[in-house]
Amino acid sequence: MLIVSLATGWATARVNTEIGPHKAVIHTTASNDIRVGLGPLGSVVLDSPLPAPLGIQIDIHEVPAADITQDLQTQLSANLNAYLQLAENPEAAIRGPRDALIRDVLSKAAITFGFSVMGIAALRLATGGHARRTLANLLRRPGVRPLAISVAGVSALLLIVPLLRAPVEGARRISALADTPFADVGVVGQLGPLLELGADAAVGQYTKTMDFYARADAAIAAQLRPAPSHVVYRLLNADGTRGKAVEASGDDIVTAVFATDLHCNIALAGSIARIADAAGADLIINGGDTTTNGTSAERFCVDAFATAWKNYPVVVSDGNHDSTTTTAQEREVGWHVLAGEALTVGGLRILGDIAPTITKLGQGTFAKREESKPEMAQRLATLACRAPIDLMVVHDPYTQRVPENTGCAPMWISGHVHRRVGPEIVPGADGAQVRYTNASTGRGLKDDTVMGAMGSDAEITILRFDTKHRSPIDYRVVSIRPDASVGITPLRPYYQLLASEAIARVEE
């Protein structure tokens, strides 16, 4: 019965989704291949990795109509970004639809199995527990057995026939794709000549991008090492001066990798994971602006980052380019979204919230809720004083500014402005505070693209915290440069402890 339920789930599975900027419909087949229908242009065909005869049909439809408030340039720009991201990381683009199809198969199989169990239970109840004997007697009646066989056969045909596909004839391989992951892809129809014309340039860009990040990842592996597992450093006095010396080691030290303003630069996802691996990180903190326009089509950006960072818990403080759709997508992949309540992740107690504004390309910036940046800053500062926290994460540094620093949050970090600011030490009534703004990780500068090889530095910061004393310890900045080299700043204590300043003992 379980096998029949799974077969029924497979035969009836169908998903309406998005691939790149396009709407798409995905359903299962018995063609033993994967076919991507592109309308008048033809089809793309590749071997199915599934057991024979299972296959998948993907029908690509139109680009959804844009919001009527968007101008043409904005619409074209958003669609172009989606195409570029699809070309740069096709695996990420299909991961969401693939998972949705699997869920549809399993859910329909579960429904079929459930109805089957209920039907059997109802039959047993109706026959007083003699279902088999009753069915056997029923099938002995004239005409009943042929009728049952006919009904079963017709039902099977109704499930199987829609899955059948004629073999594809005339599929051609694109010579320019011979040394790429797409070497075995077959193309049918007008798409073939079009790809032959443009494939060389596309493959050249793809190869250049992959080579760039391979060299950057090799540099990260060669240069970056974990910080010492034992450290002696100084706490900060409330007035911002050096306080007493303390030590931290082992599980008391938490290492976080901080990236922000990714703006859908999914090519960087693996490099950030390499940095986390090399640094021995406990978690990854995303400072927001994961996407560019917060559209549902940008889901595969979230999926790409989530897949690359699957070995780490991820905390995110959504920015002004992230919509409620983005927030929902992040929660679906298991990220911890900061939304005004403290969360304990990777050993750190972290507070933060979603940016109070939303920016749409070509439309400007608007309020997400009835709260200004200063009001959000004051609310978070007040919440921090109600229960101890280790770190405050906000997207916009302007939501760090409060009239009087209480010091209840020993460190605030942010992004948004695409340039590094700080760290700076701000005296407070209940303790000094370290404030730090990370430069753009996605390199989203006005004169720079967020796709392919880089035209400006991408910065990621490694932060360490002492959970025993609830204090930030030190930081390092990793810069991936346009020539694929990597720069790593020295390990810097916030308290500027000089190497020559020996500490005879740790003050209790």
Could you give phi then psi for residue 319, rounded to 5 degrees?
-105, -170
Percent of the chain past pLDDT 70, that is, above it, reads: 56
Q: What is the pLDDT of residue 68?
A: 44
Q: Reduced to 3 states, what is the DSSP secondary structure of residue 100? A: helix
Tell me the mean pLDDT in the region 57-86.
52
pLDDT band at residue 499 using 50, 70 and 90 as cut-offs: very low
Spatial contact of 8 and 112, defined as CB atoms under 8 Å apart? yes
Measure the CA–CA gap between 225 and 395, rounded to whole angstroms: 28
**Residues ≥6 apart with Cβ < 8 Å to 5:** 109, 110, 112, 113, 116
Question: In the Cβ-directed half-sphere of 291, how many Cα atoms lie within 13 Å?
Answer: 29
Least confident segment among 72-86, 128-142, 359-373, 445-459: 72-86
Measure the CA–CA gap between 376 and 32, rounded to whole angstroms: 55
Q: What is the pLDDT of residue 378?
A: 82
Torsion angle of alpha carbons 395, 401, 405, 408, nearest 10°?
Answer: -20
Measure the CA–CA gap between 234 and 294, rounded to whole angstroms: 42
Least confident segment among 30-44, 334-348, 409-423, 468-482: 30-44
Give this prediction's pTM.
0.69
pLDDT digits (tens, 9 = 90+) for 247-282: 899 889 999 999 999 988 888 889 999 999 999 999
Using alpha carbons, select from 212, 205, 264, 261 the residue that is nearest to residue 87.
Answer: 205
Least confident segment among 117-126, 180-189, 303-312: 180-189
Task: Inform me whether the pLDDT recorded for 445 exceeds 60.
Answer: no
Angle at CA of residue 289, ends 480 and 316, nearest 5°: 95
Q: Return the axis-axis angle of helices 72-88 and 191-223, rounded to nearest 10°.
A: 70
Task: Inform me whether the pLDDT recorded for 341 exceeds 50.
Answer: yes
**Which two three-digit tokens encode residue 50?**
């599934």
Strands 253-259 and 242-249, sheet pairing: unpaired
pLDDT digits (tens, 9 = 90+) for 379-416: 888 888 888 889 999 988 887 666 556 668 889 899 98
Q: What is the pLDDT of residue 74?
A: 47
Q: What is the pLDDT of residue 298?
A: 78
Q: Which amino acid is at 98?
A: R
What are the sequence ranges of the domains in the chain? 1-169, 224-496
Q: What is the pLDDT of residue 240?
A: 79
**Annotation: CATH topology of 224-496:** Purple Acid Phosphatase; chain A, domain 2 (3.60.21)
Tell me the mean pLDDT in the region 81-93.
52
Tell me the mean pLDDT in the region 169-198.
54
Q: What is the pLDDT of residue 274?
A: 94
Strands 391-393 and 348-352, sheet pairing: parallel
Using alpha carbons, select from 397, 377, 407, 391 the residue that is nearest to residue 475.
Answer: 391
Question: In the Cβ-directed half-sphere of 300, how many Cα atoms lie within 13 Å?
Answer: 28
pLDDT digits (tens, 9 = 90+) for 313-322: 999 999 888 8
Strands 22-29 and 14-19, sheet pairing: antiparallel
**Residues ≥6 apart with Cβ < 8 Å to 318:** 288, 290, 326, 327, 330, 337, 338, 354, 355, 395
Task: Give the strand order in the sheet containing 55-60.
Answer: 14-19, 22-29, 55-60, 33-37, 43-47, 186-188, 172-173
